[in-house]
Structure 1
Amino acid sequence: MKPAALELISIQSSESLKLRSPMVDPATEVATRMLAQVMDYRRVPHAGDLCGNSECQTCASFHLPKIISAVRRNEPVTFVLPAFPGKSPNPEKVLGALPDYAEQLALQFLGNLGQQVRQYYSPGIKIILCSDGRVFSDLVGMKESNVTAYQSGLSGLIGELQLSDIETFNMDDFYGELSFNQMRDELMKRYGSSLDFLKHKVRNGMAELATAEEQGAHRMYCGITRFLFEDSLHAGQTKSRSAIQKESRLKAYEVIRRSNAWSELIAERFPDAVRLSIHPQTCGSAKLGIRLVGNESWMTPWHGVAVETAKGFVLLKKSEAETLGAELIYSSGGQPSRYKLRGEL
């Protein structure tokens, strides 16, 4: 297998967290422990971007005050995660349009995180999955009907697994009876930023003296371009690789613009929530990058399949799992669910 594109670092366990000052109030102590626990699963671009200390004041500055505030009110701490858009349209990467065992693994991880928090803070946490598939479905080749089915399937899976700490939120919830195109138009009218501004940030992100925000914009642009390119490479498509690459680069800017607009809407709708991201985030970012399944790098449940190995589950493209000779496993309802690898990965 190819080496991971990103280094995923697990910092010191929250179980070993020790507050140095005996004067710290109980709410701050609980909040610090909770933040450290989430940071155990941080997703960062490079090892050098990680402070290596769960008590880092730079990292805590954006997130700890919100957690402390909720704890002092004895309320669940809210986390928002823009993710779970819908399955990739590339049949060589996924098993189909509906959530499968890959999503189940990610949901169970988030649910387990909530259960761990309840062991020392009874109100627990609330994780709101802000499904963003409708935001850019027309750009990435996802059918609207598949987005609807995926959102419904995700909610059903959350209920089936009895994950009471997890909720969902999407554009359909916010914009109600508008058509899907009208939803996207309204989103960009109110929350969208200019294309020139984004291009400027992406270009600056390649410079030696680029800011962390500019570096993040460039990194995200490269990642989205790669996803769009890969999703378009499947049997039956007739465009050349160079044409697909050019198209992917152009579309990536609009995907990011809409994604940023969706983030602004979420921030306005949930102002007290701690913001999570599936994308790598550097030390001190306003969002915490989080990985959802094991030590996956850029792979997500909606861009791959779950493969059971002797060392646990990993996420791979469907074509990679089949090349390895993995056996397809079906759910109790007869739907393709995951793969099982008999030998070593």
Structure 2
Amino acid sequence: MTRSCLLDTSTADQEVDEITARALEIIEKNFIHFASNDQWFTSGGKQRFGERVRYHVARNVPLEFILPAFPVKSCNPDKTLGKFPDKAEELAIRSMKIIADLVKEVYPPGVHYNIVSDGHVFSDLVGADDATVDSYGRMFREMAHDLHPGLINFFRLDDFLLDNQDEDSIAALISNTVLEHPIETKLTSSAETARRALLCLFGNDESSVRKDIQESVETRNLHHGFSRFMLEDLQEHKSCKGLPSLAAKEELCSKVGFLMLLRNRAYSAMVEWLFPLALRVSIHPHPNRGPKYGINVIHTSLLAAQRSSEEKNFHIPTPWHNAVVELADGKFMLLHSKVIRSGELSGKLACEELGSNEQLLLKRDGYTIELVRFPDGRPSHYKQIKAC
């Protein structure tokens, strides 16, 4: 039986159709991110997503979401408060619980999230040490469990490719697979082995990807998006900062972008193979025609403002590229930490294009911005506090 056969929805009864429609409406209004080139309504994207929802409803099982995300904090200190999960990740978990509760009102089995961390897929390319990725993942898993036990499963690349595998077999498999490391980071043997296994099992030939970049506008834009974003993200990393010119930095980040594209394809193929019937969502803007759908990581009810300009930089605002400001009214803003610290509302970072309304919210008269810490001293977020 092929996987497409398992998606047959021709025999579902009226009750299944009605529940599917209500659940789909909740997801559409509360979760889906509508990009500038959105095709949710125009190219069958909603229908295809609905078929996946209906598959689960017909079997009375939780809606299984697959979210490749939560890799590690950006290596750019101008963006975040540190290396480890903070208030931003907490808001993301709260947001997933909001969606789960809303769906549960119309569909009692509810939803379940499988976060497949892409931390070790890209860590050596984005300036993060493998051990830091491990620590971030462990702390995120603990945070999710403490906040809402059972809502989220958290997987790493190693879990799929190395666990319960014979070391000699793995060594033989990857013996001819060599990875480039243009950015200086500290590697661990397990993470490097998992990356090599990923490329060996699911990777594309480099020449075919280069051809796609030349011939496909979508692939070319994706490569440009990766390259442009990494030029911003790596600007304070020693591998980039020490280069003599902007042209040299752009050349390095173009290479990084190409390697990210290669690995992204392999990673996407692996996720599709492992979770063929799940609802695939992403923190990147997508046309929403399927099979991937962009989502808002932070629920709009929690936010005072959400910057559309982030989309130009290939990301819906994420916890690992931003810090959190808690405003006086209890709402939140995701901003780069440098902008919050300095009050530099125009910002030197490309995505910090705040409108006048956001500026007024952040610089509210009679209030100051203070840093809030966890009990162990780690920074959590900034908070707007009334001045004495």
TM-score by length of 1: 0.82
Return the letter of the residue paired with 2:130: E
Deviation of the 1:44 alpha carbon: 3.5
List per-residue Cα deviations over 1:264-305 (Å, max 9, x = no partner): 111111111011011111142311100112435333111111
2:373 to 314, 317, 330: 330
Tell me what 1:234 maps to: 236
Equivalent positions of 1:1-345 (< 5 A) are 25-40=14-29, 41-46=31-36, 49-50=38-39, 58-176=44-162, 179-206=190-217, 215=218, 217-234=219-236, 237-239=241-243, 240-293=245-298, 294=300, 295-296=306-307, 297=310, 298=315, 299-310=317-328, 312-324=331-343, 326-341=369-384
> Which of these two proteins has the greater Rg computed from alpha carbons?
2
Tell me what 1:212 maps to: none
Gaps of 5+ in 2: 1-11, 168-189, 301-305, 344-367
User: Which SS does the other structure have where 2:125 is aligned?
Assistant: helix
List per-residue Cα deviations over 1:213-270 (Å, max 9, x = no partner): xx2x334323322221112212763223322221111111111221221111111111
Query: Taking every aligned residue pair, what percent have the same amino acid on both sides?
Result: 30
Over the aligned positions, Cα root-mean-square deviation in angstroms equals 2.3
Deviation of the 1:341 alpha carbon: 4.1
User: Which SS does the other structure have where 2:123 is aligned?
Assistant: helix
List per-residue Cα deviations over 1:74-94 (Å, max 9, x = no partner): 111111010111111122211
* Contact persistence 1:79–1:128 (CA under 8 A): yes
* Contact persistence 1:187–1:261 (CA under 8 A): yes
* Contact persistence 1:43–1:279 (CA under 8 A): no
* Contact persistence 1:232–1:244 (CA under 8 A): no
Rate the CA distance shift 1:24–1:58 in 2: closer, same or farther, 3 A: farther
Return the letter of the residue paired with 1:132: D
Tell me what 1:5 maps to: none
Provide the aligned length of Structure 1 versus Structure 2: 308
User: Which SS does the other structure have where 1:49 is aligned?
Assistant: coil
Rate the CA distance shift 1:196–1:342 in 2: closer, same or farther, 3 A: farther
* Contact persistence 1:195–1:253 (CA under 8 A): no
Deviation of the 1:50 alpha carbon: 4.7
Return the letter of the residue paired with 1:133: G
Distance in 1, Cα, partners of 2:151 & 2:98: 9
Moved more, 259-268 or 325-334: 325-334
Distance in 1, Cα, partners of 2:342 & 2:18: 49
User: Which SS does the other structure have where 1:66 is aligned?
Assistant: helix
Deviation of the 1:127 alpha carbon: 1.0
Distance in 2, Cα, partners of 1:165 & 1:127: 6
Gaps of 5+ in 1: 1-22, 207-214
TM-score by length of 2: 0.74
